[in-house]
Amino acid sequence: MINIELALVALAVLPRAAQALYENGSVIAPCDSPIYCHGEILKEIELARPFSDSKTFVDMPAIKSLEDIQVAFNNLSKPLSNNTELNDFLRANFAQAGNELKAVPKDQLKTDPKFLEKISDTVIREFSQKVIDIWPDLTRTYVGSGGNTSFPNSFIPVNRTFVVAGGRFREPYYWDSYWILEGLLRTGGAFTEISKNTVENFLDFVERFGNVPNGARVYYLNRSQPPLLAQMVRLYVEYTNDRSILQRAIPLLIKEHEFWTTNRTIEVVKNGTTYRLNQYNVTNTQPRPESYREDYITASNSSYYSTSGIIYPEVETLNETEKARVYANLASGAESGWDYSSRWIARPEDATRDVYFPLRSLNILNTVPVELNAILYWNEITIAALLKSTDNSTGAAAWTQLADNRSEAMYDLMWNSTLASYFDYNVTSGAQNIYIPKDDDASDVETKTAESEQQVLFSVSQFYPFWTGAAPAHLKNNPYAVKQAFERVEKYLDIKKGGIPATNLKTGQQWDQPNVWPPLMHILMEGLRKTPATFGESDPAWCDVQKLALRLGQRYLDSTFCTWYATGGSTSETPQLQGLSSQNVGTMFEKYGDNATNVAGSGGEYEVVEGFGWTNGVLLWAVDVFGNDLKRPDCGNITAANVHPGKRSLPQRAVELNHYDASWTKKFGRRAVEA
């Protein structure tokens, strides 16, 4: 039986404690490394911009001691410039990004996707198999700094084999891994054990740090991501019936929950009632190391350079306190996984008009987000169920009560009965975040309750309570209520040729329109599928809800397949498009566009990434769950994507890495062979 004291620990709201691992006066940084987390070496190199992506440098392990690197750095001409001297310094002191890792031999990575046996359409089956064949290219083990532990690197050691997302994401990432597991478990074979490894690696992190960092890098140690570890444990146990991990997992899931209740709790008073919910809130006063230059420009530049080339003078110079708050908001936005979105921007018109730094007005520190609290509700219910399975009925009851309290608080603060939707709660205004600037494709549904030049915010985050079960029974168990809540999803599906965008506002931020994110599509589909047939399976509302889930599944299949096909993918019945070489084998992207079924996403702080872990996982989940109800994708009169002659093809704006950055990055899988 699990200790009841552990089960009850989160009932107390503990004082907020700083989570940064390095503090020195006004400097609060994620770790104490003067190369990878803070200090002049990091600042000077990142601002000199030797690489297109700030993350490239902080992912390069050292091949000299810290002392030797500091001496060599002190001998460089200051300020640093992106010149031969800097490049020689980097080559003499650092290995390629990702050099701490090695690939796993493919003969050790057998697959056994039994679910494909039921798929009758040969194109869908072959496409799914080719997606499964990507996993070995994304599978890694950690080898460290070549046996010399005195040479610093930014990778947090992991003890077991793991799967990366792809591209610049060279390490395990927290919330990505939930959807990766959906695919790995269905892939079977060696990947069943790798699924368990993934869970065990994250449990190691909780044991060591008290939480799961954003990713397995020391520069992520001051922040987490949406806490889905409890659901990974549940998913693994349900799929494999292997309960051997529970004795270790349950206390650590409780420990992780304590991190969120201790460090991310916010009190909101409304109509005389005090509600305690959770938020993203990272203690931080420095640029994020992996996005150092971008953050520094946001906080410190004296002029704003618009995408059209117009230069706007700074309206006001930020003082050091204001800069620190910008850096805290930037880190907190990254903790949300939605980095970045109009959901967090206090002045979204800065972004839509492209006239000022959009991320200077981030207000995530004063936002109570729907999805985080919906996930924590699910975790509380899951922990209760796990405790009950160990005959700890008292602990189970306590955690069920925690979940009930959270659901009630969310309904009181975040549910809008007029609009039949959940909205984030804004502590600054003391109200729900309902309205955003009206844009050129706002529909009547979005403007009917809004004032002139405004529209009602649409965000997939509003549907998390139906996915996690945090919505009260009279909503989630009533197909008519679910249908009403998802009405705008259906209208978008009617209007858009691609999937459902993260929000309905175009800002240039990646978690806004037009970007379609695989995990968000999964959340919509599952939220609908979980609706019970309360009034029977012939109930028209329930049938409509299930049909909408299938339509979303079909649209997701169409988007992933047609984009893969346009970039060189082929099956026995869909031969490769003309104009592509044998090296062009199709690409699975991190995100997609909402305006067509063969367009990758765009925007944000880095180029669109290929690979891609959660995209593959959601695809395999959808093919398994919807099975033969899915139809063969019809890509229409599609042509090959624009490619670079002589190189492995990728559509424009859909490259994995800047070409120069790639030369400083260790290659794995097919790229290692091509190199």
pLDDT digits (tens, 9 = 90+) for 154-193: 999 999 999 999 989 999 999 999 999 999 999 999 999 9
- Identify which has the larger pLDDT, 346 or 673: 346
CA atoms within 13 A on the CB side of 250: 28
Whether 651 and 596 have beta carbons less than 8 Å apart is answered as no
What pLDDT score does 582 carry?
86
pLDDT digits (tens, 9 = 90+) for 401-458: 999 999 999 999 999 999 999 999 999 999 999 999 998 888 888 888 888 899 999 9
Catalytic-role residue among 258, 290, 424, 590:
590
Q: Is the pLDDT of residue 19 over 50?
A: no
pLDDT digits (tens, 9 = 90+) for 87-119: 999 999 999 999 999 999 999 999 999 999 999
Q: Which phi and psi angles does 658 have, rounded to 5°? A: -55, 140
590 tagged catalytic: yes
* Strand partners of residue 426: 367, 431
Torsion of CA 507, 509, 510, 514, to 10 degrees: 10
- Identify which has the larger pLDDT, 245 or 313: 245
Q: Is the pLDDT of residue 17 over 60?
A: no
The stretches of 497-612 forming alpha helices (DSSP H) are 518-529, 540-566
Sign (positive/negative) of CA torsion 550, 551, 554, 556?
negative
| Banded model confidence at residue 76, pLDDT cuts 50, 70, 90 | very high
Q: Is the pLDDT of residue 285 over 60?
A: yes
Instruction: With CA atoms as reference, report the closest residue to 119 among 66, 186, 74, 60.
Output: 186
Strand 311-313 vs strand 367-368: parallel, antiparallel, or unpaired? unpaired
CA distance 162 to 183: 13
Lowest-pLDDT choice from 380-384, 517-521, 636-640: 636-640
**In CATH, what class is 4-263?**
mainly alpha
Whether 20 and 29 have beta carbons less than 8 Å apart is answered as yes
What pLDDT score does 609 carry?
56
**Mean of the per-residue pLDDT values of the chain:** 92
Whether 328 and 282 have beta carbons less than 8 Å apart is answered as yes
339 tagged catalytic: yes
Q: Is the pLDDT of residue 629 over 60?
A: yes
Lowest-pLDDT choice from 262-266, 276-280, 497-501, 665-669: 665-669
What pLDDT score does 226 carry?
99
What pLDDT score does 583 carry?
87
Average pLDDT over residues 345-364: 95
What pLDDT score does 524 carry?
99
Average pLDDT over residues 275-287: 98
pLDDT digits (tens, 9 = 90+) for 557-599: 999 999 999 999 999 999 999 999 888 899 999 999 999 888 8
Task: State the pTM of this model.
Answer: 0.94
pLDDT digits (tens, 9 = 90+) for 381-405: 999 999 999 999 999 999 999 999 9
CA distance 39 to 21: 14
What pLDDT score does 603 carry?
62
Average pLDDT over residues 529-533: 99
Strand 162-163 vs strand 265-270: parallel, antiparallel, or unpaired? unpaired
Lowest-pLDDT choice from 19-33, 215-229, 249-263: 19-33
Residues of the chain with CATH 1.50.10.10: 4-263
Q: Which helix (H) or strand (E) holds 124?
A: helix 122-132
Give 645: exposed, middle or buried? Use CB within 10 Å, 0-12, 13-18, 19+. exposed
Instruction: With CA atoms as reference, report the closest residue to 252 among 209, 291, 220, 219.
Output: 209
Q: Is the pLDDT of residue 246 over 50?
A: yes
Catalytic-role residue among 290, 339, 512, 558:
339
Q: Is the pLDDT of residue 58 over 80?
A: yes
CA distance 198 to 187: 15
| Banded model confidence at residue 513, pLDDT cuts 50, 70, 90 | very high
CA distance 451 to 403: 36
**What is the Cα 596 distance to its own chain's centre?**
22
Interacting residues of 646 by C-beta distance below 8 A, sequence separation 6+: none
Average pLDDT over residues 650-671: 66
DSSP symbols for 241-306 = ---TTHHHHHHHHHHHHHHHHHHSEEEEEETTEEEEEE-------S--GGGHHHHHHHHH-SEEE-
Angle at 670 between CA 570 and CA 179, to 5 degrees: 75
What pLDDT score does 16 carry?
33
What pLDDT score does 619 carry?
99
Whether 135 and 185 have beta carbons less than 8 Å apart is answered as no
Angle at 215 between CA 213 and CA 219, to 5 degrees: 80
What pLDDT score does 600 carry?
84
Whether 465 and 370 have beta carbons less than 8 Å apart is answered as yes
| Banded model confidence at residue 660, pLDDT cuts 50, 70, 90 | confident
